[in-house]
Structure 1
Amino acid sequence: MLNLFNRAAVFTSVGAVGLMVLTACGGVGGNDDTDKGGGKDEVASLNSPSAGGTSTSTSASAGPDAGRPQIRLDSTNEEVNRMYEAWQACLKEHGAAEKYKRKPNDPAVLACKGKQPLDPPELDPAKNPDYADDVREMVKCMKGHGIKALVYEGSWALETGNEMNRPHYDEYELQCQVKAFGEDE
């Protein structure tokens, strides 16, 4: 079975474990921090919410996500890391268990829900009617930079996690993400 990692989960894991195969997945646009196993023939799915600012909404009537930090398509890895570090710090302050064992109704998870970053809406197939075309454009752009990417299960993925070690990977991923998901044609 293929691993699908949430990029945000990887950013969080990198701080604790070091460099590891990344991404944003479980499903694009999700904030699932679970690791679903791994193997040598697996594809690292890259749901790249490489993001930027922490634009937040202050309207209480805006819904359950109001006030949460919003990752943007052009957010840098450092910006995304800061958002997730703030959320992780909150969880730790509230006594959360190790991240892969958290349950959605865990009191710490509930207490820190307002600090959990939101992925860019452009990376959510339910909110982006051009998502499939954007995924194909993302793969094309990454391949144009010599990065072995492919369309996999409705999202984009790397052929191997080693692709992330290529020079300028983060820069190319961010450029391609903005180009593929951010530009209207």
Structure 2
Amino acid sequence: MTKAPRRLGLAVLTLFAAVLAGCDPETSDTGSTADVASLATASAAPSASASGAAGNGRPQLRLDMNEDEKQRLWNTYNYCLRDHGVRELKERSAGAPKGSGIISLDQSGEPKAAYVACADKLPLQPPELDEEKNPNYASQWNDYVQCLRGRGMKIHSLPDGSGWTYDDGVDDPSGGLEGAVYDKAEKECTLEAFRGKK
């Protein structure tokens, strides 16, 4: 069975997409699946303030942010979209954890004017995870994959460095880790590899 390649941040990005869309990542309207993801890159500003705001006004996600801090930034963006006409999926929003502030929005990309109006609230990915901004990305990516392997993941880097895939013969879709154990390993390996801490 051929497994699809994955990219760094799959758990985080897929989780955000699923939570914000209020649906299972395997059935989201975006067409993404739980087995394939690419690292979202954005034109990050050259510097970010301690508050997380980038020089161009967009909030800058940091590697060391906790999930609540990240979620607050995404909530701000999503509420802006809703307030500018993007349809809220109220039944899905009602299923979000109480007090989380998470809302679920229509994923059609309409009205386009809402996305223009809220562009300055769209969080930027950490610059360490942007291949174009991080000159050490390739070696740090390999360190990341090796870290996950050290935690029990049965994976290896693709030859072109575009992601990772499961080792031959691995039929376990989790690749050896799943749920909270995978989330913890992914976060710790990201910090270890991309902050240069071993």
- Indicate the TM-score class for this superposition, using the shorter chain for normalisation: 0.5 to 0.7
**Matched residues in 1 for 2:194 and 2:78: separation?**
28
- The yes-or-no answer on 1:132 pairing with 2:148 is no
TM-score, scaled relative to structure 2: 0.63
Q: Which residue in 2 is equivalent to 1:14? A: 19
Q: Which residue in 2 is equivalent to 1:179? A: 192
- Contact kept, 8 Å, 2:59 with 2:121, in 1: the verdict is yes
In the alignment, structure 2 segments of 5+ residues that lack a partner are: 42-49, 88-104, 167-171
- Contact kept, 8 Å, 2:53 with 2:59, in 1: the verdict is yes
**Matched residues in 2 for 1:86 and 1:77: separation?**
14
- Contact kept, 8 Å, 1:76 with 1:174, in 2: the verdict is no
Equivalent residue pairs, number: 160
TM-score, scaled relative to structure 1: 0.67
Runs of 4+ in structure 1 off by over 6 angstroms are 3-6
Instruction: Provide the secondary structure at the position in 2 that maps to 1:137.
Output: helix
Q: Which residue in 1 is equivalent to 2:116? A: 110
1:20-169 matches, within 5 Å, as 20=25, 35-38=30-33, 43-45=35-37, 47=39, 54-57=51-54, 62=55, 66-96=56-86, 99-102=106-109, 106-152=112-158, 154-157=161-164, 159=166, 162-163=174-175, 165-169=178-182
Across the aligned residues of Structure 1 and Structure 2, the Cα RMSD in angstroms comes to 3.6
Percent identical among aligned pairs is 28
* Structure having the higher Rg: 2
In the alignment, structure 1 segments of 5+ residues that lack a partner are: 22-32
**Matched residues in 1 for 2:133 and 2:124: separation?**
13
The one-letter code sitting in structure 2 at the alignment partner of 1:170 is D
Provide closer, same or farther for how the CA distance between residues 106 and 129 of structure 1 changes in structure 2, counting only shifts above 3 A. same
- Contact kept, 8 Å, 1:12 with 1:81, in 2: the verdict is no
**Matched residues in 1 for 2:32 and 2:60: separation?**
28
**Matched residues in 2 for 1:18 and 1:100: separation?**
11
Q: Which has the higher strand share?
A: 1
Instruction: Provide the secondary structure at the position in 2 that maps to 1:150.
Output: strand
Provide closer, same or farther for how the CA distance between residues 173 and 112 of structure 1 changes in structure 2, counting only shifts above 3 A. same
Provide closer, same or farther for how the CA distance between residues 151 and 143 of structure 1 changes in structure 2, counting only shifts above 3 A. same
Summarize deviations over 1:83-124 as a string: whole Å, max 9, x none: 212211110111125553216x81100111111000011111
